[in-house]
Structure 1
Amino acid sequence: MGIELTWEIIIIIVVGGFLAAFIDSVVGGGGLIALPALLAAGLPPHLALGTNKLAGTMSSLTSTITFLRSGNIDLKMTSKLVPLAAIGAITGTLLVQFVPSEWLRPLVIVLLIIVTIYTLFRRDWGSIATFRSHSKRSWIAMAVTALLLGSYDGFFGPGTGSFLIFAFLILGLDFVKAAGNAKLLNLTSNVCSLVVFICLSSVSYGIGLLMGAAMVLGSLVGSRVAIRQGACYVKPLFIGVSTLLITRQIWVMIAG
């Protein structure tokens, strides 16, 4: 894409990718680090978004497999939600080509603040799983959530992992299982969104694969630490990343 890969740029991409994936593999929010790293490498915004999806998909696949092998993904529950997340992601990615994503920013800030405060004051929330079985109402709620958050991930993105985890926590899952289920749906929306970006020729493959390799390593380390440490590790990270997302979105809105 006309970008010279100097050692400085390679370090930014590799280190940024590792740190982004380490965080994203557990609670989402890796875009806070990955996108600025890609922009710093000299990619224009539309290419940075598509390239981030390529690297992010590699990261999501790695962490999803890790959570799956540990038994922390409920396939019976998520298999019915995956198609809805896919439809939403494709629709959202196509829509972002025509509608300014900045229109969503104020709403996202408010929702992230609510999610963070609620999680902060529910001290034992997510430590022990209380989920037993689905009611018809809960299935409908989760189906709508998967569709909307899939669309949101394709259209805008920041906070998708946090919102998905929050939805599964409301159902009564513990933090680790909520993170595992969220990763599978997040992987689905990433793959579908990536396909659309590829069709629109908005992916830099060389940089994307380089960052993706670093993100695979970050995902392996991050997801294994989360599974080993449990809610005592995931909950503070969840709150911390949500707070950073809020700060970042407010800053961008004011600066813009």
Structure 2
Amino acid sequence: MFEMILLCIAGFLASFIDSIAGGGGLISVPAFMLAGLSPHMVLGTNKFAAATGSFTSSLKFAKSGLCNFKLLKILIPFTLVGSILGVRTVMLIDQKFLQPLVLVLVLCIGIYTLFSKSIGQEDNFKGLTKKNITIGIILAFSLGFYDGFFGPGTGSFLVFGMINIFGFNFLNASANARFLNFVSNITALVTFAFSGSINYRIGAMVAVFMIIGARAGTKLAINKGSKIIKPIFVTMSLAVALKMLLTLF
């Protein structure tokens, strides 16, 4: 019973943070591990619970009018295909080869954002062009593939990409990134479901608190905007990098 209470608290906090800036898995995955689930069951159950929070957050962002659906309807199919290919590839290649590269990239994103005063503070979106759509498609496919194949830091990469490619501020970037991340999450979730790697009893209970956390986090992000998102984004980016660094040793 005590373990279940801790899991639910961890689920709330993970979803709350994830809906603002990504990186919630840093909280939820270790919590599921402490509950004694096997590694595959941890990942599958976490995806199941997190997908509900991700859906809630995406829906709330959509209702707020912060999502650019003209852009998303172009990018979503590429994220979906990328994620499917990533899940298939992970069965063939050792993920450990990717860790050092991702560690450096996430660390650079966190440090660059920390010291850049202007990044993501203003919405400089000038509309869709052939150039930013093409780069956006490459981003969507690549990060869909990466999320299906490996995963850590996907939210950070998506937000950073949305800011630098389309000129969104942190709030708009987070809103659109949540939708793309939700698509890749669902793909991985279906894969875990077919492999029988989900504990639905535990996952369903944690999912309730993840939904509550996602609603609270999204509401805070919408009300406070980029001022609250940037420090959380930097913190979670550096935390993901630190966790990956510790994993290497």
Coarse TM-score class (shorter-chain normalised): over 0.9
Aligned twin of 1:179: 174
Counterpart position of 2:99: 105
Give 2:82's match in structure 1, choosing from 88, 93, 109. 88
3-state SS, counterpart of residue 79 of structure 1: helix
In the alignment, the residues of structure 2 paired with residue 240 and residue 129 of structure 1 have an alpha-carbon distance, to the nearest angstrom, of 22
Structure 2 distance, partners of 1:45, 1:241, is 23
TM-score by length of 1: 0.94
Partner of 1:71: 65
Q: Is 2:220 aligned against 1:229? A: no
Is 1:247–2:242 an aligned residue pair? yes
Structure 1 residue aligned with 2:215? 220
Task: For 2:66 and 2:144, locate their aligned partners in 1 and report how far apart those are by CA, in whole Å.
Answer: 21
What is the CA-CA distance between 1:16 and the residue it aligns to?
0.8
Q: Residue in 1 aligned with 2:205?
A: 210
- Which residue matches 1:52? 46
- Residue identity in the other structure for 2:32: L
Displacement of 1:155 in angstroms is 1.3
**1:3 aligned residue:** none
The CA deviation at 1:157 is 1.0
Aligned-residue sequence identity (percent) comes to: 40
Structure 2 counterpart SS, 1:43: coil
* SS of residue in 2 equivalent to 1:68: helix
Q: Is the CA contact 1:22–1:219 (under 8 Å) kept in the aligned structure 2? A: yes
What secondary structure is seen at the aligned counterpart in 1 of 2:98?
helix
Amino acid at match of 1:41: A
Return the offset for 1:98. 2.9
Q: Give the whole-Å Cα distance in 1 for the aligned partners of 2:170 and 2:132.
A: 19
TM superposition shift of 1:216: 0.4
User: Distance between the aligned counterparts of 2:201 and 2:155, measured in 1?
Assistant: 26
TM value normalised by structure 2: 0.97
Distance 1:165 1:83 in 2: 18
Secondary structure of the corresponding residue to residue 80 of structure 1: helix
2:109 corresponds to 1:115: yes
Match of 1:163 in 2: 157
* Aligned twin of 1:8: 2
Aligned counterparts of 2:64 and 2:232: Cα–Cα separation in 1: 20
Q: Could you report, residue by residue, the CA deviation over 1:61-112 in whole angstroms, capped at 9, with x for unpaired residues?
A: 0000111111111111111101111111112122223322222110111101
Q: Which digits, 9 at most, give the CA deviation of each residue in 1:151-190, with x for residues without a partner?
A: 1111111110110000010020011000000000011001
Does structure 2 conserve the Cα–Cα contact (< 8 Å) formed by 1:94 and 1:196?
A: no
For residue 81 of structure 1, give the secondary structure of its aligned residue in structure 2. Answer: helix
Q: Following the alignment from structure 1 to structure 2, what is the Cα–Cα distance between the partners of residues 122 and 47?
A: 40
1:139 Cα shift? 1.2
SS of aligned partner of 1:72? coil
The answer for the alignment partner of 1:4 in structure 2 is none
Distance across 1 between alignment mates of 2:86 and 2:32: 22
RMSD value, Cα? 1.0
State the AA in 2 paired with 1:19: L
Distance 1:226 1:18 in 2: 16
Q: How far off is 1:196 after superposition?
A: 1.1
Q: Deviations over 1:105-129 (max 9, x none)?
A: 1011110112112212220221111
- Unaligned regions of 5+ residues in structure 1, if any? 1-6
For 1:234 and 1:130, locate their aligned partners in 2 and report how far apart those are by CA, in whole Å.
Answer: 17
